[in-house]
Amino acid sequence: MRKSQIVETPRGPVEIPTGLLIGGEWVDAENRKQFEVFNPSTGLAFVSIADASPKDAVRALDAADSAQESWGKTSSRHRSTILRRIADGLREHASSLSWIISAELGKPVREAEGEVEGSAQIFDFLADQVTQQRGSYSTPPNGGFRIITTHEPIGPSYLVTPWNFPLLMSARKVGAALAAGCSVILKPAAQTPTTSQLFGHIMMEAGVPEGVANVIPTSSASEQSSKLMADPRLRKVSFTGSTQVGSHLLKLAAPNVIATSMELGGNGPFIVLEGADIKKAAEDAVIAKYRNAGQVCVAANRIIVEKSIEEEFTARFVAAVNELKVGPAHDPSVDIGPLASESQVCDVRELVEQAVAEGAELISEVTVSEDSGYFYPPQVLAGASREFRIASEEIFGPVAVVYSAENAEDAIQFANATEYGLVGYIYSEDVGMALKCAEELKTGIVAINRPVVAEPSAPFGGIKASGLGKEGGEGGIREFQNEKYIALAL
Ligand code: NAP
Ligand code: MG
């Protein structure tokens, strides 16, 4: 591997490509700039990665554009074989990948292992699905001619991912785009580019042709996206991250009418109704809230509990939270690692301090003993009002707020009182009641008696300010294709 750096991990050395992946080669940034990646468990830098300039981004688009035509014409069987090899490669490199995710993000290593396996499963699913894609042949109601429909790759695609799932988010986007026959330019988050570097290496090993997959980390995301999205050769942008940046990218997409998929922020309600299995609901709320230290777009942001069971639920929930172990992400016994960055810690602390000043009460007892790294303890707040800032903002940290509701109707009303609409969780043993609430929730995803929703074969995506389009499921590959209609005279 050219242009690489050896990183020591508790499972041995890992070789990280440090260049930009452009046209099948690892190359220096044109200005030779690099940027450092920090380990949130220690606050120390552990690797330096090439920092793509806007000129490098154009080089990547040149490569993607040159590779597009031939990749788009490959058979789906051929693409399926390559997708399967990527799944195999992810599993072969699972140990290094999970340690690197853990090192650059602070995700507990057990969770990082789950992220790697989940990413491999996305490629498994796409490898199966891509050979099953069909067009259609039909007659219009008034007869006279024939309608043929077929799908073609949309073209070079710009894939922008966040730091909270450095591999899974890349796998969703890159996998669907490659399956659809598109060449890609992947831009990882500046905080977590290392995982994408290894992922790029795995794609090359799996036989992805040169120029089809390009990886260009950068410290100047805004300049990069402005440059690329002004270029008419780019045909698609798929973004996961904040609503603010998503909205900005939608504006950049407008002049050239670039197709967009947007997975944005959330403010997920976790509703526990009378008659729920309270023990299970409390245990699951811990998973739905504290996975990845709450830095998850589908995290339970507002825990809304029917008044009659609030006391029992809260007691069980707080007891479980008080058992959570906080520590360095590489320790396999740790439940909650550090947050991804110092600014993330500041944001969460500020939100909690404001809620407490406004009258909320801290009812959990976990503290942090680490004296370095970006740690923040898991917390539970009660007594917050629906008008507090913490009720309307995405917390993106290990802080749960428990609200009480008069009844199911009141719970749903509060749940829907947000500009977001990604996910809602409902706990009730009355399936009819749970389904009725599921129909009323204004979200793209609803989970009933289940704390985890991501699944390659299911359509993941939000409505309202939470986004546009779906990743995974029946339509995931279609997000990267144009449907063509051919009218045939007979
Ligand atoms: P962010 O600032 O929106 O960043 C996400 C990605 O966009 C990063 O790669 C970032 O690069 C890049 N970016 C920022 N400004 C850009 C620009 N002008 N042009 C092109 N790219 C740009 O979000 P974040 O702070 O990293 O992540 C937290 C947010 O993401 C939360 O609101 C969360 O809800 C959301 N999220 C949503 C989902 C979902 O599936 N719906 C999943 C995960 C996270 P840099 O790293 O260089 O800033
Ligand atoms: Mg940001």
User: What three-state secondary structure class fits 250?
Assistant: helix
3-state secondary structure of 233: coil
Catalytic residue check, 297 = yes
pLDDT in tens, 70-129: 999 999 999 999 999 999 999 999 999 999 999 999 999 999 999 999 999 999 999 999
d(C-alpha 444, C-alpha 431), whole Å: 19
**DSSP-derived secondary structure letter, 238:** E
Ligand 1 pocket: which residues have CB below 6 Å? 160-164, 187, 189-191, 221-222, 225, 240-242, 245, 248, 263-266, 297, 394, 396, 422, 467
> What's the CA gap between 258 and 255, in Å, rounded?
8
The Cα–Cα gap between 384 and 387 comes to 8
Q: Which of 104, 113, 182, 297 is catalytic?
A: 297
Selecting among 111, 115, 263, 471, the annotated active-site residue is 263
Residues making up the chain, counted from first to last: 490
Q: Which ligand minimizes its atom distance to the CA of 163?
A: 1
Contacts of 250 (CB under 8 A, 6+ apart): 260, 262
Please report the pLDDT score of residue 1 as a whole number: 53
Single-letter amino acid, residue 158 = Y
Q: What would the pLDDT profile of 10-50 be if each residue is shown by its tens digit? A: 888 999 999 999 999 999 999 999 999 999 999 999 999 99
Residues whose CB falls within 8 Å of the CB of residue 486, separated by 6 or more in sequence, listed in order = 147, 148, 149, 150
**Which CA distances in Å does 105 have to 41, 43, 114, 411?**
9, 11, 14, 34
- Alpha carbon nearest to ligand 1 atom 32, residue: 242
How would you classify the pairing of strands 20-22 and 12-17? unpaired
How big, in percent rounded to 5, are the helix, strand and coil portions of the chain? 40, 25, 35
* Encoded tokens for 2: 């050219």
All residue ranges of the chain with pLDDT < 70 are 1-2
Atom of ligand 1 nearest to the CA of 248: 18
> ∠ CA 96-100-105 to the nearest 5 degrees?
155
Q: Contact, 72 vs 152, CB < 8 A?
A: yes
Q: Provide the pLDDT for residue 314.
A: 98
Task: State the distance from the centre of ligand 1 to the C-alpha of 219, rounded, in angstroms.
Answer: 13
Ligand 2 centre to CA of 201 (Å) is 26
Ligand of minimum distance to the alpha carbon of 347: 1
pLDDT tens per residue across span 153-176 = 999 999 999 999 999 999 999 999
C-beta neighbour count of 145 within 10 angstroms: 11
The ligand 1 atom nearest the CA atom of 422? 41
CA distance 423 to 303: 13
Residue 202 CA to ligand 2 centre (angstroms): 27
